[in-house]
Amino acid sequence: MALFIPFKLIMETESASIYETFKREFDKLVEGTLSLPINIPGTSYHHGFQGRKNVIRMLKGVMEKRRASSMTQDDMLGYLLRNEGSKYNLSDEEILDQVITILYSGYETVSTTSMMAVKYLLDNPRALQQLREEHLAIRQRKNPEDPIDWNDYKSMNFTRAVIFETSRLATVVNGVLRKTTKEMELNGFVIPRGWRIYVYTREINYDPFLYPEPYTFNPWRWLDNSLESHNYCFIFGGGTRLCPGKELGIVQISTFLHYFLTSYRWEEVGSNKIVKFPRVEAPNGLHIRVSKY
């Protein structure tokens, strides 16, 4: 659902016919971007390149069919193709980049973090109870049919702490790739100009000097708001490369948790395998039994 909803908003007409095929290739692309940059056959990085080629091929096919049709589409792709009210004409490559960026930015990170939040909360009843109380208090201020609004979101202090702690423990993006623009020296090692550097931020999240009892799920540590701004907090990147979708992702997960917690209880079914290296995933899914709250 985390991919299907934005996919339908972008290409409503084609969403039913090509979604399953598109998702298989898009999953390869996503896995490639979250892997070590080793481009040889058999690696996730290489599969990512192949997936991107197939994604581009499918998107170009949709664009060509739409341009050949007299029908007007009012979805996101339709507006991008018509380019109405814009002083700058987007090229096809720019349109393709826009579509892929929009789909990518809210898919893997949001869905995996939501899944792991459900898992960690189930394993930590005290945190689950405090989080549920925060959301039930919001619902008590509203009529049953009223949706949550921005003010409600801003009041979700413990929810934000849960999301940050989940993101710390279950690091979805475990590093960042950079390229040196000039020769530099770091701790006595000389790194030549033009080298690619993979900064493995995942291990920072498990440093006991920065996060006491680093393998313990402790969302209360994030109630100290200054922790988010520390220069060693790379959960959403840092500096000028801070993730532009940071707050949007937190809003999406907060909204999901709000309605899930206030409407349902859940329990794990069977033995769920969670893989945390090289990236967080549940190979067979996280199986839970849901009942009304």
How high is the pLDDT of residue 197? 86
Identify the segments of the chain with pLDDT beneath 70.
1
Please enumerate, by residue number, every residue annotated as part of a binding site for heme. Answer: 243
How high is the pLDDT of residue 242? 78
By percentage, how much of the chain surpasses pLDDT 70? 99
How high is the pLDDT of residue 31? 85
Phi, psi of 237 (to 5 degrees): 85, -160
CATH 3.60.110.10 fits 108-167+210-292, yes or no: no
Please enumerate, by residue number, every residue annotated as part of a binding site. Answer: 243
- In degrees, rounded to 5, the angle at the alpha carbon of residue 209 between the alpha carbons of residues 206 and 212 is 70
How high is the pLDDT of residue 200? 83
Sign of the alpha-carbon dihedral angle for 243, 246, 248, 250: positive
Cα-atom radius of gyration of the chain, to the nearest Å? 21
Phi-psi domain of 186 (left: phi exceeds 0; alpha: psi -120 through 50; beta: other)? beta
How high is the pLDDT of residue 1? 66
Residue type, 132: R
Sequence-ordered list of residues with C-beta below 8 angstroms from that of 1, at least 6 positions apart, any chain: 111
Q: Which two tokens stand for residue 235?
A: 């959960």
pTM, whole model, 2 decimals?
0.78
Please report where in the chains the tokens 């067979």 appear, as a residue. 284
Each residue of 128-178: pLDDT tens digit?
999 999 999 999 999 988 999 999 999 999 999 999 999 999 988 777 778
What are the start and end residues of each CATH 1.10.630.10 domain in the chain?
108-167+210-292
